[in-house]
Amino acid sequence: MADWSRRTSNIFYLGWLARVGDGELADADLEPPLPPGLQSLTPAQQALVEFLEIDPDWLATAASASPAADATTEANDALDAWLAEQTPETMRASLRLLLSGRSQEAERSLRQRFLAWQRGQRAPTASPSRRSVAAIDAGREAAAARRLNHEATQRAAAESQRQTERANRLKRLAENTEAIWISIDKTLQRGSGAAYGQALLLVSELAEALAAEGREADFRQGLVKCLSAHGKRAAWVSRLTKAGLLRQ
């Protein structure tokens, strides 16, 4: 129940945030009660964010004040605390109901007593201060900077990985030159436009791989051998020329 209530509060807050992003509210308007767990949305809630087109910087700024929530842990802690206070007599009474086939009655009785105890344990707490739209907006610039920095870091990491993978691929090509030329020869024998495209990609990568190792002569020697077998394929020769791989 607590988890369902928290998720409902999150959805309500996201709806309010969408209105803020659409400019429907004034700077002095106050946010609704801020629910816990707003920094860890469920997949369904994240889909709602995308559907409502909520500005990520508005969301990050608003969620920064939302405490983490673990409803399962809280519920288990409450149950353990309640069970520790039960007397042997009350526990025996519940067991008697279970063993006599009155399990529903036993469950209902236990639940009612637990909920009554839980209500008595709740101490009144002061509601957290509610921020104005202007107050949340004031933190958006910092949130945007953090987001842009994170995105730049991710792009740099992705580009670094791409370059590493390409360098490894080129190294493997250079180490298996003869096998690559054989593969190019078999591809060209298919005589189709798609085959020529695949062969050109391999030839281009092989040229780059061998050039990186100062083996341009090896590449030229292999290309001459390739042309001796496929030099009459006008479409193939044309592709090599356009790619700058064939010297006229």
Question: Cα–Cα distances in Å, from 63 out to 23, 36, 40, 53?
Answer: 19, 9, 9, 16
From the list 229, 214, 223, the residue with the least C-alpha distance to 246 is 223
Q: pLDDT tens digit string along 145-170?
A: 998 999 999 999 999 999 999 999 99
In a domain, 143, yes or no: no
Residue 145 belongs to some domain of the structure = no
- Based on the domain organization, do 19 and 132 belong to the same domain? yes
Q: Tell whether 125 is covered by a domain.
A: yes
Tell me, yes or no, whether 79 lies in a domain. yes
Same domain, 196 and 101: no
Q: How far apart, in whole angstroms, are the C-alpha atoms of residue 91 and residue 82?
A: 12
Tens-place pLDDT, residues 54-98: 889 988 988 888 877 654 455 566 777 777 888 888 878 877 877
130 and 19 share a domain?
yes
Q: Do 235 and 132 belong together in one domain?
A: no
* Residue 195 structural domain: 168-242
The whole-number pLDDT of residue 35 equals: 81
Q: Is residue 174 part of a domain?
A: yes
State the total domains in the chain: 2
